[in-house]
Amino acid sequence: MAITRRGALRASLAGGIGAAVSAVAPVPAWSAPASPPRPGDAAASLRLLEQGNRRWRRHASRHPNEGRGRRRELVHGQAPFAVVLGCADSRVPPELVFDRGLGDLFTIRSAGQVLDGSVLGSIGYAAEHLAVPLIVVLGHASCGAVTAAVEAHRTGEVPRGHVGYLVEEILPVVDATPDDGGDFVDACVRANAVHIADRLREDEDLRGLVESGSLDVVPARYDLETSEAVWL
């Protein structure tokens, strides 16, 4: 049977590609170091976060719990050891900041860590149904939502729409924060994280867990320049 030039070219290309593929050795699946078992209390959970943030600051992240085995394990359920309520800011991803992997952190993010029904319901689920022992409220330097609230505090003008809702939620904290001539925005970032942590401790769904000692709520501030999370 005669072979057309097009058929010969196709056969040649197929053979070349097949030979190239067969010559490449299979690449083993990368597996990060496994983490120790889930910590049993808030203090141990906090230590893991401190250790992870230290690695992150030193550019020595281990990226734990990202391998094939961990993914298979999480098909059957989750047991995170901390809730992190962080800002939606793209510069502050909790899993990177604390060098944690899949299933480690129950992460909730809203601009300025603003609490609403959805956020509170998500936190309550993690605390009640997943028995997470620690909640971290993670504010950060140069927070845009807090900055907008400071601007509204100074001008008396609140933005319209959904951004206005965020500003109105943060504004009472800004109004109550003394302006001593220093970095007022950063003072409000810290005050906002502390205020939200206080609200969570007093929340009707969480108060009993806090009073029993099975749940702790800790505010923190993340520094964009140093990459350090400082507990407040």
**89 annotated binding-site participant:** yes
pLDDT for 36 equals 57
**99 annotated binding-site participant:** no
**143 annotated binding-site participant:** yes
Residue 182 placed within a domain: yes
Report whether pLDDT(4) > 90.
no
- Name which of 46, 24, 217 is nearest 126 in CA terms: 217
Query: What's the domain count of the chain?
Result: 1
Taking only Cα atoms into account, the Rg of the chain, rounded to an integer number of angstroms, comes to: 24
Residue 101 placed within a domain: yes
Q: What H or E segment, with its residue span, contains residue 34? A: none
Q: Domain holding 80: CATH number?
A: 3.40.1050.10
pLDDT for 118 equals 97
Residue 68 placed within a domain: yes
**116 annotated binding-site participant:** no
**pLDDT tens, 183-218?**
999 999 999 999 999 999 999 999 999 999 999 999
pLDDT for 37 equals 73
Residue 19 placed within a domain: no
Residue 6 placed within a domain: no
Percent of the chain topping pLDDT 70: 84
pLDDT for 40 equals 82
**Cβ burial, residue 151 (10 Å; 0-12/13-18/19+):** middle
Residue 216 placed within a domain: yes
Report whether pLDDT(18) > 60.
no
Residue 150 placed within a domain: yes
Domain that holds residue 117: 38-231
pLDDT for 39 equals 84
